[in-house]
Amino acid sequence: MVVRIHHVGIATANIEDALQLYFNIFGCQPTKVLNVEKPGLSLRTAMLSLGSSHLQLIEPHVGPGIDELKARGEGTILEMALEVEDIEKFYEQMKALNIEPVNIMGEPISTKFLTASSGNRYFYLPQNKTRGTKVEIYQVVAEH
């Protein structure tokens, strides 16, 4: 079962400038910037708390987000993450609907979930099954 929108991922060409903007406008607390490096993927990211939800700033260098940032510019929404109570149960529900969970690159995963550096669990739904929207399924195991 989906509990809430956990976060919305927003593209930026300069994460430091974007952080300063969101700190000034919304009073978000300073947060650390993480570097993510995987085959075919390089980005910098920061998660900002806004009430019970979050904004994830994403500065893409290689892989997903590059084309979207070039085409639509700064502030483009890249993804929406829906928090679930039990990601393994949600995975089974998706499989029953013939929806094969994928990673951020759109490649099928061989496990029921992936684990973020925070310890939280996630996977993505294929965009051809969500009418083009990049939807991340997210289970909080450890708060940031």
Q: Could you give the residue ranges of the DSSP H alpha helices within the chain?
A: 15-26, 66-72, 87-96
Give the residue with greater pLDDT, 30 vs 115: 115
* Residue 126 in tokens: 């294929």
CA angle 46, 40, 74 (to 5 degrees): 45
Fold type of domain 2-139: 2,3-Dihydroxybiphenyl 1,2-Dioxygenase; domain 1 (3.10.180)
Q: Give the model's pLDDT for residue 143.
A: 64
Judged against a pLDDT cut of 70, whether residue 115 lies above it is answered with yes
The pTM of the full predicted model, rounded to 2 decimals, is: 0.91
In angstroms, the CA 16 to CA 18 distance is 5
Residues 20/37, Cβ–Cβ less than 8 Å: no
Q: Could you tell me the residue ranges of all domains in the chain?
A: 2-139
Mean pLDDT over 24-38 rounds to 90
In angstroms, the CA 102 to CA 16 distance is 30
